[in-house]
Structure 1
Amino acid sequence: MANATHEAGNGPLPRQIPFIIANEAAERFSFYGMRNILTPFLISTLLLFVPLEDRTSEAKHVFHTFVIGAYFTPLLGGFLADRFFGKYNTIFWLSLLYVAGHACLAIFEDNLKGFYFGLFLIALGAGGIKPLVSAFVGDQFDQTNKNRAKVVYDAFYWCINFGSFFASLLMPLLLKNYGPSVAFGIPGLLMGFAVLIFWLGNRKYVHVPPAPPNPDSLTRVARTALLTKVPGQGRPGLVVFVAGLALAAVSLVMSYSWGFVIGACTALVLVLASWSIGTSMQLERARGHHPDEAVEGVRSVLRILIVFALVTPFWSLFDQKASTWIVQANAMTSPVINLLGWEFQVLPAQMQALNPLLVMLLIPFNNFAIFPLLRAIGIEPTALRRMTAGIALSGAAWLVIGWIQVSMDAGTPMSILWQLAPYALLTMGEVLVSATGLEFAYSQAPASMKGSIMSFWTLAVTVGNLWVLIVNSSVKNDAVLSHIGSTGLSVIAFQMFFFAGFALLTALAFGLYALRYKMVDNYRVEMDAGCHGTIPKEPAKV
């Protein structure tokens, strides 16, 4: 019976999982505790030297630049872990930089350069470890208990939001009543606690070693595909890649007028897109030079990257709840709420506590009610179907938030409680996209690319925030402003409906691509007790 359970992938949960989940809950408290008060702190304190009419826009720019940094550095973390130090060591040492960043925010509350340096360290630490912790969770499973991984990823995501919920409630109060040094210092203490918990579990973890130099790696197979000549044929894929490099160079030059962050991130997107397209056009030319398994592995990665690219509009909507939605809430009325004799008034930044609270409710509700109901009527809620629905729900949330803004622009006083509906829709979208994406990214990644693929997943967040910066910059153009004026909408309302349409169109494209995508199973095989390595397994169709 036990063997049948193991063969079915329903073996027991690894005993080391609680250490990783507890670490992640404390780390996410520290991150979201800092992030959720960043915009209001910038507007009310640090950016007072900026003219009042430009302060909100500058605060949004700083916030989304920070988010871009936090979700760009996973590329570095994934590379260091996969090639040199392994996941555990990379997570541990980058976490110490993370703690130092929090200390800078608390110490340099009135020093712009010191505060920004703290944001840089947090972006480096939080971003560097983000994909690795998720991949490290997956490393603790094998073929005998792989079906438990979805439950643990959901629990993992639930605990992340448990920490985020209390951070969203408490940090705005601490900022208001005790000042920024305390409000930014407490997340630093929680991050130190997270590092301690992670270290205590060290002897219990499965440590998958870094991949050795591989002559059939992703980059080498791609290089062979792009450079190999075929008699009588050109190299159209190479032409596409070179054109992408040229456009990336133009983007860097234009960064003098666009801004460095927009120019550099746009250049990165152009390089990745042209490399992916070019490689896919000529991938068959790598056969014979590299094993078929390596060529098919690259094909699998390229297909995964298309999924990630289609998720980027979701992140452009989701991350604005901590900037655009707070700005809207600042202009709304906040009623006094009486709860069991305790009266309180909700602060705009505290509305973000709805997001993790709803996540904690929706994850078990989906698993125990919605998904079984769908299966009962013959609809299997696969990962890609869930993600398609999630992107569409995020678009619906922005239709509602746009309607609220139109009502406010017309002079109708709106209670902050009106934001409950869009928060509910956006959070349902998050549960279906983000929690599912962690599981999808790990299961689809070839064994030697786990950390790097998870890094590309987080890079999707960077690109999503890039869209926000581009749209915010474009509305400063006179021609664009003239067009918006002709619609009868305010600039902020127009942007809200633009992002809603962006997400809904993407959901359609995502759903169509999902119909053609073939899932694979890249969980490692069972290892002997105490083994600290991994045995590669050829992907199986599922």
Structure 2
Amino acid sequence: MAEPLPAKSSRFPPQIPYIIGNEACERFSFYGMRNILTVFLIDYLLVNANPDTAAREAMAKSHFHLFMSGVYFFPLFGGYLADRFLGKYRVILWLSLLYCVGHACLALFENSPTGFYTGLFLIALGSGGIKPCVSAMVGDQFTEENKHLVKKVFAIFYWTINFGSFFASLFIPLALKRLGPAVAFGIPGVLMFMATVIYWLGRRHYVIVPPTGHNPHSFLKVLFSALGNRRERPAGGDWLSGARKAHPEEAIEGVRAVFRINLLLMPTVPFFWMLFDQKASTWVVQARGMDQQIGSFTFQPSQMQFVNPALVMILIPVLAGVIYPAFQKTRWELTPLRRMPLGLIIGAFSYIIAGYYQVLIEGGTKLNIAWQILPYIVLTLAEILVSTTGLEFAYTQAPREMKGVVQSLWLVNTTLANIAVAIASSLNIFQGSGQFFFYSGLAFLAGVGMALMARKYKVRDYYQQSGPIPVGEHAAPGLTAKGA
């Protein structure tokens, strides 16, 4: 006789508020310091290094994007430590403490490049290292009795991320202008300390999933086995078939899936992140040359970034609840393989708009900063089409054993994009309006290229089986890279 199904619970586990509170404070702290970083570098830290404003702007953009490349590289480190050795709870707690030290360095060493850049390194390590652990930690708290609440809690989780980003973008630039760098960087530091304390307070309630330890059939082990035994592959087999000597077929198929996904995403998606992350650098520099008075309020250049999280909270429900279902009723459904190329092309148009503004500014027209709202709307729409869709697509196309690898490679896309922008900025090849049209052209070509490659891609979805599952793996589809 079959065992009765467990009764469903309608209440969240008591530890969830601790993790949500931690995430709200941590995201405020991160976006608060990140959104003023470019202006601080131009107007404060780099002033003595170079008196030329244009040169400082290029240097500030380069340093900003190197920092962001670290933020999206260190998840590989944090995720590996958590999965293999230490577990998620300890990695989050210990790296959060380093994160707090990094914030303290920013507040205390505003005039010392060595101290300040040490702080940025620690924040990149802390923020990046905990990034893959926190969302999975949320999912680990659910069981068969309440797993139906996972989707709801991650909706709250995602809104919390944008809620923190929204208020940080509004208030921290004002603090930099009126109270100075020490206070402006100190406030995010206090919020990060609060985040760590809130997380620690829930320690007696968390479900702790132990690390998995050594994996004999990991992605790299299968890959190296295939390369080492390439002469032993069977007739008609592909180059990965040589790994059959040491690994089961499902592990080899997982590696094939990883390559299949990334042959589509990695040549194209980084060009979107080149656009998106420059809203905190190139677009801030453009805003510095605009009329910042809107009515009786004077906007700081960095404050315009509040438009993005505000629009995300509005547009995601509209797209998911209205636009996508409407297209589903037509013959041209907005499938993931259509959304992502469309998002890249829409992102390219946001830079055409911003580039046109820059042409007017260079011609002597004093545009009001409110005009930036239009390209922000277009770029945010592109973000939802590319980022949210791409993360979900990568997740569903990978077998369970390789979902972590695919999510890591998704973050590597952002790392590569920021390194490319950092190099281009340091070389200062493109200036003024030219840089906007350059990146727009790259994104447009990437969108067309992805659309052509997508026509040959064979969709193969992998979903979790029923029964007890590590619910944390359901987290990824509901999050953008912004907050994953």
TM-score per shorter chain, which class? 0.7 to 0.9
**Equivalenced residues, count:** 465
Give the SS at the match of 1:214.
coil
1:346 is matched with 299
2:36 is matched with 37
2:448 is matched with 508
Q: Measured at CA, do residues 195 and 425 of structure 1 come closer, stay the same or move farther in structure 2, by a change above 3 Å? A: same
Q: Given residue 496 of structure 1, which amino acid in structure 2 is its aligned partner?
A: F
1:488 is matched with none
Name which of structure 1's ranges 117-126 and 500-509 shifts more when overlaid on structure 2: 500-509
CA distance in 2, matches of 1:156, 1:174: 27
Query: 1:479-518, CA deviations, whole angstroms, 9 ceiling, x for partnerless residues?
Result: xx7xxxxxxxxx3212211111111121222233444142
Query: 1:200-252, CA deviations, whole angstroms, 9 ceiling, x for partnerless residues?
Result: 44455444332232222211111111111426999xxxxxxxxxxxxxxxxxx
CA distance in 1, matches of 2:98, 2:425: 31
Name which of structure 1's ranges 194-203 and 440-449 shifts more when overlaid on structure 2: 440-449
Matched, 1:292 2:245: no
Give the SS at the match of 1:208.
coil
Q: Measured at CA, do residues 436 and 142 of structure 1 come closer, stay the same or move farther in structure 2, by a change above 3 Å? A: farther
CA distance in 2, matches of 1:382, 1:18: 34
**Deviation at 1:441?**
4.5
**Deviation at 1:329?**
0.8
Contact preservation (8 Å) 1:106, 1:182: yes
Give the SS at the match of 1:467.
helix
Q: Measured at CA, do residues 83 and 517 of structure 1 come closer, stay the same or move farther in structure 2, by a change above 3 Å? A: farther
Give the SS at the match of 1:433.
helix
Name which of structure 1's ranges 508-517 and 105-114 shifts more when overlaid on structure 2: 508-517
CA distance in 2, matches of 1:36, 1:216: 41
Q: Given residue 262 of structure 2, which amino acid in structure 1 is its aligned partner?
A: L
**Deviation at 1:96?**
1.1
**Deviation at 1:367?**
2.5
Query: 1:152-177, CA deviations, whole angstroms, 9 ceiling, x for partnerless residues?
Result: 44443222111001001100111111
Q: Measured at CA, do residues 187 and 395 of structure 1 come closer, stay the same or move farther in structure 2, by a change above 3 Å? A: same
Contact preservation (8 Å) 1:174, 1:183: yes
Contact preservation (8 Å) 2:279, 2:305: yes
- 1:410 equivalent among 363, 368, 387: 363
Name which of structure 1's ranges 497-506 and 190-199 shifts more when overlaid on structure 2: 190-199
Structure 1: which 5+ residue stretches go unaligned? Answer: 235-279, 338-342, 482-490, 537-542
Q: Measured at CA, do residues 84 and 232 of structure 1 come closer, stay the same or move farther in structure 2, by a change above 3 Å? A: closer
What is the correspondence of 1:175-324 to structure 2 with a 5 Å cutoff?
Answer: 175-230=176-231, 282-309=239-266, 310-324=268-282
1:396 is matched with 349
1:122 is matched with 123
2:410 is matched with 457
CA distance in 1, matches of 2:341, 2:132: 22
**Deviation at 1:334?**
2.0
Matched, 1:81 2:75: no
Q: Measured at CA, do residues 403 and 414 of structure 1 come closer, stay the same or move farther in structure 2, by a change above 3 Å? A: same
CA distance in 1, matches of 2:271, 2:395: 21
CA distance in 1, matches of 2:438, 2:185: 34
Q: Given residue 354 of structure 1, which amino acid in structure 2 is its aligned partner?
A: V
Query: 1:352-390, CA deviations, whole angstroms, 9 ceiling, x for partnerless residues?
Result: 111111111112222222223223335544444433332
**Deviation at 1:147?**
7.3
Matched, 1:419 2:372: yes
Give the SS at the match of 1:423.
helix
Percentage of identical aligned residues = 50
**Deviation at 1:136?**
3.2
**Deviation at 1:325?**
0.6
Contact preservation (8 Å) 2:61, 2:425: no
Give the SS at the match of 2:216.
coil
Contact preservation (8 Å) 1:143, 1:523: no
Matched, 1:93 2:94: yes
CA distance in 2, matches of 1:92, 1:282: 42
CA distance in 1, matches of 2:238, 2:233: 16
Q: Measured at CA, do residues 11 and 282 of structure 1 come closer, stay the same or move farther in structure 2, by a change above 3 Å? A: farther
Query: 1:259-291, CA deviations, whole angstroms, 9 ceiling, x for partnerless residues?
Result: xxxxxxxxxxxxxxxxxxxxx961122124311
What root-mean-square deviation, in Å, do the aligned CA atoms of Structure 1 and Structure 2 show?
3.1
CA distance in 2, matches of 1:472, 1:281: 41
Query: 1:117-152, CA deviations, whole angstroms, 9 ceiling, x for partnerless residues?
Result: 111100100011112223334445678877765554
CA distance in 1, matches of 2:186, 2:358: 35
CA distance in 2, matches of 1:95, 1:150: 26
**Deviation at 1:185?**
0.8
Q: Given residue 373 of structure 1, which amino acid in structure 2 is its aligned partner?
A: A
**Deviation at 1:395?**
1.1
1:521 is matched with 462
CA distance in 2, matches of 1:125, 1:387: 30
**Deviation at 1:59?**
1.0
Contact preservation (8 Å) 1:328, 1:405: yes
Query: 1:405-446, CA deviations, whole angstroms, 9 ceiling, x for partnerless residues?
Result: 112222222111111110001111122233334444544554
Matched, 1:368 2:321: yes
CA distance in 1, matches of 2:193, 2:272: 32
Give the SS at the match of 1:411.
coil
Matched, 1:26 2:25: yes
Could you tell me the TM-score, scaled by structure 1's length? 0.78
CA distance in 2, matches of 1:4, 1:385: 43
Matched, 1:433 2:433: no
Give the SS at the match of 1:500.
helix
Q: Measured at CA, do residues 534 and 351 of structure 1 come closer, stay the same or move farther in structure 2, by a change above 3 Å? A: closer
Contact preservation (8 Å) 2:338, 2:451: yes
Give the SS at the match of 2:292.
coil
Contact preservation (8 Å) 1:108, 1:114: yes
Name which of structure 1's ranges 379-388 and 309-318 shifts more when overlaid on structure 2: 379-388
- 1:497 equivalent among 430, 433, 437: 437
CA distance in 1, matches of 2:129, 2:85: 14
Contact preservation (8 Å) 1:312, 1:461: yes
Name which of structure 1's ranges 296-305 and 412-421 shifts more when overlaid on structure 2: 296-305
CA distance in 1, matches of 2:4, 2:438: 52
Contact preservation (8 Å) 2:162, 2:309: yes
Q: Measured at CA, do residues 84 and 228 of structure 1 come closer, stay the same or move farther in structure 2, by a change above 3 Å? A: same
Contact preservation (8 Å) 2:273, 2:417: yes
Contact preservation (8 Å) 1:82, 1:448: no
Q: Measured at CA, do residues 193 and 225 of structure 1 come closer, stay the same or move farther in structure 2, by a change above 3 Å? A: same
Q: Measured at CA, do residues 195 and 385 of structure 1 come closer, stay the same or move farther in structure 2, by a change above 3 Å? A: farther
Contact preservation (8 Å) 1:77, 1:90: yes
